[in-house]
Structure 1
Amino acid sequence: MAPDPIPFDRDRLVAMTGLDYLHAMLAGEVSPPPIWAVMGLRLVRVEPGAVTFHAAPCREHGNVTGTIHGGWYGTLLDAAMGCAVMTTVPVGATHATLEYKVNVTRVVRPGLQVEAVGRVQHGGRRTGVAMGEVRGLADGKLYATGSTTCIVLEG
């Protein structure tokens, strides 16, 4: 049984590589950001330059037209792409999203299980660039794509 997750601790974050921190989160040793629970996101795989999330929107993630709000797709892709960049961040640094773009190609209905994969295209000393895709777990269909640029921040 994994120990109780440790709440966010900036000192612990900068004392580890981004990859090690995400592995600790995946192991349940570090608590994920609260927004992930609100949005129904679950980190399921971490490797150098790539991360995978599983998610399923709820009715509460809907918008005025009864479909899933674009912010849900944005949050899912920002998490996947940003965490992919985080895997390249060294000890003593963090990162932040500078900009991201999302293209919704197909509507995700409430309860549909999807997988979001973020992959680094460039992991530099000052910036990271990543792409992301959201696909249905059961049907493999493409539901959304995204791209991001992150800044790497020292200590």
Structure 2
Amino acid sequence: MLKALSFEDLPNRDKLLSMSGLEAMRAILDAQMPAPPIGDTLNYHLHMVEPGRVTFRGTPRFAHTNPMGTVHGGWYGTLLDSAMACAVMTKVPKGSLYTTLEYKINIARSIPLDTEIEATGVVSHAGRSTGIATGEIRGISDGTLYATGSTTCIIMKIKDE
């Protein structure tokens, strides 16, 4: 039986503030810190972390469909929000945190159920107080473009380092 996750399973704020965003993302990728539980719920996981670039991989299942039987737009949005915002996180300095201010997605076509996809976010700007990134979802097997997105994140200095 799987253990029910709780807030105690996530890194605490002090631990996050003691690391740069890039260090934190690499710790999640290397399973040194737990991944957020949303990935289990929506069947996606962190695949690659580089400065300014993050990739998640996932597969939409029947549980992720809307009443018409197609992949719900929220699945696309959550994956792109994760990829784009985590790309910004790789640029967040030690002592700071970030959160998504706004994001936009454009769905180009429906993802067939059980299709393996890759969601990639790339930073176009990371400053003292804001980060901007773009992203896309593509099929792993053939590179088909399923959606694009953009985000603006706020970067908040919490503690002097």
Q: Classify the TM-score, shorter chain.
A: over 0.9
Task: State the alpha-carbon separation in 2 of the partners of residues 103 and 8 from structure 1.
Answer: 32
Percent of residue pairs identical: 51
Please state if 1:109 is matched with 2:89. no
The aligned counterpart of 2:6 is none
Q: Is the counterpart of residue 81 in structure 1 residue 81 in structure 2?
A: no
Tell me how far 1:7 sits from its aligned partner: 3.0
* Counterpart check, 1:12 vs 2:19: no
Corresponding position of 1:47:
50
- Aligned mates of 2:146, 2:109 — CA distance in 1: 5
Structure 2: distance between partners of 1:48 and 1:111: 30
Structure 1 SS opposite 2:11: coil
Offset at 1:16? 0.3
CA displacement at 1:30 relative to structure 2: 0.4
1:123 is matched with 126
Please give the alpha-carbon distance, in whole angstroms, between the structure 1 residues aligned to 2:11 and 2:67.
34
Matches within 5 A, 1:135-154: 135-154=138-157
Instruction: Name the SS for the 2:19 alignment partner.
Output: coil
Structure 1 CA distance for aligned equivalents of residues 95 and 113 of structure 2: 40
1:64 aligns with 2:72: no
User: Which residue of structure 1 aligns with residue 41 of structure 2?
Assistant: 38
Instruction: Report the alpha carbon displacement of residue 53 of structure 1 after superposing the two structures with TM.
Output: 0.6
CA distance in structure 1 between the aligned counterparts of 2:10 and 2:135, rounded to whole angstroms? 27
Pair 1:91-2:94 in alignment: yes
TM-score for both structures, normalised by structure 1:
0.95
Root-mean-square deviation (CA), in Å? 0.8
Distance 1:8 1:105 in 2: 36
Secondary structure class of the residue paired with 1:117: strand
Aligned equivalents of 2:10, 2:130: Cα separation in 1: 27
Aligned residues: 150
Question: Where do 4+ consecutive residues of structure 1 move more than 6 Å?
Answer: none
- 2-structure distance, mates of 1:115, 1:35: 16
2:57 is matched by which residue type in structure 1? H
Please give the alpha-carbon distance, in whole angstroms, between the structure 2 residues aligned to 1:24 and 1:71: 27
- Quote how far apart the aligned CAs of 1:8 are: 2.2
Secondary structure of the residue aligned to 2:35 is coil
